[in-house]
């Protein structure tokens, strides 16, 4: 054809768009199409005023004659401005409620106030419509939707879609600084009911909790009644606002500290918001009596974990009896705290606090000294799972309970697993332990929201470790589930140590602690007890479909402890580092349950 190829000097090769950029552009155009179509769509009929959550117009400000609620921040405008800005390839797409339909949104809100709100009472108004929540904060709105969508059977994919968007809007809201309190409320929800992930290293709860806690301090929530000191303009300090801010702060302390404790991480030691009148104010703002009891036990629980972790070096000396007795002191405080109501939920709260404290008996090296404490752990663990199952039978507790209770139920199952894999199996009611263990496995499966989330993986790990003949077997061939290698994750060291036993056998990883029995087991060991055949789970010898995807993170965190001088046994209590407000009275210890 005799064509001449000429390359222009000003030619510049354009970079191809990535698949992620194309998907974002496609979503943006689709949402623009939905917005334009919603402007000409007829208004949705409202339900009767007797409904718990009122229906709102098809789109806030989309040509409706209904008056829009007053906005308390600029989150909506901020998201739209960032999305429409030119050249912002990393901007999130604004997810409009119309994409799912208002009926689904209302159903999620109804589920939240019916099943979830009782775990964080007093800071969410059921008389606010979803549109008002959206105008208040899109981050809070979609966080509420994500919680309600966990068990929304009409659209199982709703949670997955919302989850991908919530994290994008979370960063914008937390760092916008213009609408702090709704952002803090949203983070509380995401810590109580974390977004589904398949490994703990992907869990954003701790990062969100840290940012939200700093935001709460920056806005003066930690000081009761001094809101004006943290604002540059005049603030009308009404009693209702003071009560809300104080209650929000206490929720921040309890939820964020519990979030850290559930993963065996050190938590913030923060002064109470109520200052000198903290007891009086706490009783005034308590939304329900059970919440006040939960908060009281939480303070004892955090005090116990902090003090015990600072004195773990006693286990390296000859003072193990003192350490064991020290655990009994805090357990007796929990038991002696007056019950507010005689309900299973109250007993479960008490039992969870006891187990998190008693689990430190696994840290004691002497088998003779740890035996009485471990037997207490077994009784408490069985009791905890039985209470959890009873609540699930009456109110579907496993599906809706917060992360703290679910995590403590798993801790109880791992404790039972380790005790049955030790010499103490002849000293316990093995039949009751096995029944409680597999009850916990089924409860974890019921709580699961996705096939590969943490709840479903924990159920699988528990079952495979139960049927395993290698787990907890030492180099000398003995079976010792009471010995811990992981000792820096507070009471959750019991769980994270089990993860490494599972990784070594089923995850294809090297056991990093060196004293695992690597020998081939004789066939005679196949006579060990197996789980109930009613459970359709793989046996311990079967290979997982994707072992690498089941790996859980194991952050090696060490606690700094002050030096402790040697002291005689009869003066052991005088040398412990105790909080200033601890009650050292020691009532009669409870018998084994």
Write the pLDDT tens digit of every residue in 291-306: 889 999 999 999 999 9
CB-count exposure of residue 459 (10 Å: 0-12, 13-18, 19+): buried
- Domain limits, the chain: 69-269, 289-520
Residue among 259, 291, 139 nearest 192 (CA):
259
**Rounded to 10 degrees, what is the CA torsion of 64, 69, 71, 74?**
-20
Could you tell me how far CA 354 lies from the centroid of its own chain?
A: 19
Tracing tokens 């979370």 back to the chain, one arrives at: 170
Residues whose CB falls within 8 Å of the CB of residue 490, separated by 6 or more in sequence, listed in order: 261, 264, 265, 305, 309, 356
Q: With 80 as the cut, is the pLDDT of residue 333 above it?
A: yes
Contacts by 577-585 with C-beta closer than 8 Å and gap 24+?
Answer: 577/307, 577/310, 577/311, 578/307, 579/303, 579/306, 579/307, 581/303, 582/303, 582/307, 583/333, 584/329
Q: 3-class SS at 582?
A: coil
Question: Higher pLDDT residue, 438 or 511?
Answer: 438
pLDDT at 317: 58
- What tens digit of pLDDT does each residue of 505-530 get? 999 888 888 766 655 444 333 334 44
pLDDT at 553: 36
What angle, 0 to 180 degrees and rounded to 10, lies between the N-to-C axes of helices 430-447 and 367-395?
Answer: 50
d(CA 254, CA 222): 13
Q: Give the global pTM.
A: 0.74
Q: What is the DSSP letter of 286?
A: -
**Tokens (6 digits) for 45:** 């009929």
Range from 65-69, 268-272, 279-283 carrying the lowest mean pLDDT: 65-69
d(CA 15, CA 226): 54
Note whether 453 and 411 are within 8 A (CB): no
Per-residue pLDDT band at 268 (split at 50, 70, 90): confident
Residues whose CB falls within 8 Å of the CB of residue 65, separated by 6 or more in sequence, listed in order: none
What is the mean pLDDT of the segment spanning 131-150? 94
**Tokens (6 digits) for 114:** 């019916």
Residue among 384, 458, 391 nearest 416 (CA):
384
Tracing tokens 């994270």 back to the chain, one arrives at: 496
Per-residue pLDDT band at 410 (split at 50, 70, 90): very high
* Percent of all residues in the chain with a pLDDT value above 70, rounded to a whole number: 70
Note whether 104 and 153 are within 8 A (CB): no
Note whether 404 and 262 are within 8 A (CB): yes
Note whether 542 and 530 are within 8 A (CB): no
Note whether 357 and 327 are within 8 A (CB): yes
For the ranges 321-330, 512-521, 547-556, the one whose mean pLDDT is highest: 321-330
Question: Higher pLDDT residue, 417 or 321?
Answer: 417
Per-residue pLDDT band at 279 (split at 50, 70, 90): low
d(CA 24, CA 32): 12
d(CA 334, CA 346): 12
pLDDT at 11: 56
Question: Higher pLDDT residue, 78 or 315?
Answer: 315
Longest dimension (CA), the chain: 105
Note whether 108 and 144 are within 8 A (CB): yes
d(CA 247, CA 270): 15
Range from 147-151, 172-176, 182-186, 292-296 carrying the lowest mean pLDDT: 172-176
Could you tell me how far CA 453 lies from the centroid of its own chain?
A: 13
Neighbours of 248 (CB within 10 A): 21
d(CA 333, CA 304): 10
Per-residue pLDDT band at 586 (split at 50, 70, 90): very low
d(CA 260, CA 206): 7
pLDDT at 156: 86
Q: With 70 as the cut, is the pLDDT of residue 220 above it?
A: yes
* DSSP codes, 414-446: HHHHHHHTSGGGGGS-HHHHHHHHHHHHHHHHH
Per-residue pLDDT band at 69 (split at 50, 70, 90): very low
Range from 94-98, 161-165, 223-227, 389-393 carrying the lowest mean pLDDT: 94-98
Q: 3-class SS at 508?
A: coil
- Cα–Cα distances in angstroms (integers) from residue 434 to residues 403, 407, 430, 473, 584, in the given order: 24, 19, 6, 20, 36
pLDDT at 91: 41
**Tokens (6 digits) for 256:** 């964020």
For the ranges 53-67, 68-82, 233-247, 349-363, the one whose mean pLDDT is highest: 349-363
Residue among 494, 505, 500 nearest 470 (CA):
505
d(CA 346, CA 302): 18
């Amino acid at each position: 054809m005799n064509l001449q190829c000429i390359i222009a000097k000003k030619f510049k090769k354009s970079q191809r768009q990535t698949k992620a950029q194309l998907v974002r552009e496609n979503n943006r155009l689709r949402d623009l199409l939905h917005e334009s179509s919603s402007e000409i769509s007829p208004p949705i009929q409202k339900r009767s005023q007797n409904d718990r959550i009122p229906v709102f117009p098809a789109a806030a400000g989309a040509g409706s004659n209904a008056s829009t609620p007053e906005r308390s921040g600029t989150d909506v405008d901020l998201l739209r401005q960032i999305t429409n800005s030119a050249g912002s390839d990393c901007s999130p797409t604004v997810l409009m409620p119309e994409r799912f339909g208002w009926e689904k949104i209302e159903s999620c809100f109804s589920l939240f106030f019916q099943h979830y709100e009782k775990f964080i009472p007093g800071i969410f108004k059921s008389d606010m419509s979803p549109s008002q929540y959206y105008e208040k904060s899109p981050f809070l709105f979609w966080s509420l939707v994500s919680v309600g969508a966990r068990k929304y059977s009409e659209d199982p994919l709703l949670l997955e879609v919302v989850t991908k968007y919530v994290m994008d809007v979370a960063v914008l809201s937390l760092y916008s600084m213009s609408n702090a309190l709704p952002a803090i409320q949203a983070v509380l929800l995401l810590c109580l009911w974390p977004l589904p992930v398949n490994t703990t290293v992907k869990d954003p709860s701790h990062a969100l909790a840290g940012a939200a806690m700093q935001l709460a301090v920056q806005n003066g929530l930690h000081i009761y009644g001094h809101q004006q000191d943290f604002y540059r303009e005049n603030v009308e300090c009404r009693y209702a606002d003071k009560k809300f801010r104080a209650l929000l702060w206490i929720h921040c302390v309890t939820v964020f500290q519990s979030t850290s404790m559930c993963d065996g991480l050190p938590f913030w030691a923060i002064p109470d918001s109520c200052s000198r009148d903290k007891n009086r104010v706490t009783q005034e703002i308590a939304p329900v009596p059970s919440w006040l009891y939960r908060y009281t036990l939480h303070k004892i629980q955090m005090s116990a974990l902090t003090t015990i972790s600072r004195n773990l070096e006693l286990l390296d000396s000859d003072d193990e009896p003192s350490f064991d007795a020290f655990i009994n002191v805090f357990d007796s405080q929990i038991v002696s705290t007056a019950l507010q109501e005689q309900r299973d939920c109250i007993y479960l709260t008490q039992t969870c606090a006891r187990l998190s404290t008693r689990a430190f008996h696994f840290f004691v090296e002497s088998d003779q000294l740890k035996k009485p404490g471990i037997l207490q752990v077994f009784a408490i663990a069985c009791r905890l799972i039985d209470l959890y199952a009873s609540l699930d039978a009456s109110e579907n507790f496993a599906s809706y309970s917060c992360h703290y209770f679910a995590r403590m139920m798993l801790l109880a199952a791992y404790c039972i697993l380790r005790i049955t894999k030790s010499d103490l199996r002849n000293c316990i009611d093995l039949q009751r332990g096995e029944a409680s263990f597999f009850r916990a496995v089924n409860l974890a499966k019921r709580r699961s929201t996705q096939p590969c989330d943490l709840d479903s993986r924990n159920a699988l790990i528990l079952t495979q470790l139960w049927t395993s003949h290698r787990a907890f077997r030492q180099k000398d061939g003995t079976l010792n589930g009471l010995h811990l290698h992981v000792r820096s994750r507070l009471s959750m060291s019991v769980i994270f140590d089990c993860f490494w036993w599972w990784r070594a056998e089923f995850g294809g990883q090297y056991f990093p602690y060196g004293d695992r029995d690597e020998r081939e087991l004789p066939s005679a060991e196949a006579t060990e007890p197996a789980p109930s055949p009613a459970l359709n789970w793989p046996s311990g010898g079967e290979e997982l479909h994707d072992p690498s995807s089941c790996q859980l993170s194991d952050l090696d965190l060490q606690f700094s402890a002050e030096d402790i001088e040697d002291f005689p046994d009869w003066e052991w209590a005088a040398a412990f580092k105790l909080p200033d407000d601890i009650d050292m009275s020691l009532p009669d210890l409870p018998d084994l349950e």
